[in-house]
Amino acid sequence: MRAIAAALLALAPASALGLCVTEGAIAPAPGGAQRVEGARLRAVAADSDGLSASLRFRDLGPSAQSQPLASGEMRRQIGLKLRAQDACNLAYVMWRLAPEPQIVVSLKLNPGQSRSAECGNRGYANLAQAPAPAGSATWRTLRAETRGAELTVTADGRPVWRGALPPAALKLEGPAGLRADNTKFEFVFTSAPGSRRGACPAEGGNSLAHDFEVSP
């Protein structure tokens, strides 16, 4: 775990300008953090390698307005996207806040599809579910790192899950990012830089722009 912690220290912070916000809005917060108040947030760090990311956040409670997931469930959650090739093919590491506090690692795989209008909420498979760590800390930290085929997830510095990604997931190529539903929060997002400089796609031409992914 020391090697993992050392690697995560090399993650670079992403400012609001460095994030491609495909749904929702981000505003500045004190201390260099950023703030989200709307019911939904979807964003990616275009310059990231998509393999490793960290999210330090302070939960400020439910958003003023709430939206159920397409499954009909009303859930509060904050988490990371990895290998976000498009809205239909990516990995998630989510901190579910309510109704049941959990850390959930999942894949969404829909070969040949790239837009939510095509795949909807199909293609999800959970790789791991674990109770979220208890505690009264104001700020919580969710981290994920990929080394080879192995993904390691920690929450508040505690190991949550380590396991091999299936071959189909290893073929995905895309940035890291973040997702939130029905939660008002402040955060600092960091990700490992990629070898190529990315760019936010033009409005209307982004397969992530209608990123209405939901869990089954």
Structural domains for the chain: 2-193 (2.60.120.560)
Do 51 and 82 contact (CB within 8 A), yes or no? yes
> Which DSSP letter does residue 88 get?
T
CA-based angle 168:80:158, to the nearest 5? 100
pLDDT at residue 14 greater than cutoff 80: no
pTM equals 0.86
Predicted pLDDT at 8: 44
The model's pLDDT over 33-82, given as tens digits with 9 standing for 90+, comes to: 999 999 999 999 998 999 999 999 999 999 999 998 877 889 999 999 99
The better pLDDT of the pair 17, 10 is held by: 10
Window from 51-65, 76-90, 128-142 with minimum mean pLDDT:
128-142
- All residues at 6 or more sequence positions from 107 whose CB lies less than 8 Å from its CB, including other chains: 90, 91, 92, 123, 124, 125, 127, 165, 166, 168, 169
pLDDT of 119 > 60? The answer is yes
Instruction: Place 13 in a pLDDT band, splitting at 50, 70 and 90.
Output: low
Q: Which residues of 142-174 are buried (b: 16+ CB within 10 A; e: fewer)?
A: bbbbbeeeebbbbbbeeebbeeebeeebeebeb
Neighbours of 57 (CB within 10 A): 25
Element (H, E) at 40: strand 40-45
Give the pLDDT of residue 69.
84
Q: 196: which residues sit within 8 A by CB, 6+ positions away?
A: none
Average pLDDT, the chain: 86
pLDDT at 196: 58
Q: What is the pLDDT of residue 116?
A: 87
Lowest mean pLDDT among 8-12, 112-116, 176-180, 185-189: 8-12
| Least-confidence region, from 22-26, 33-37, 196-200, 204-208 | 204-208
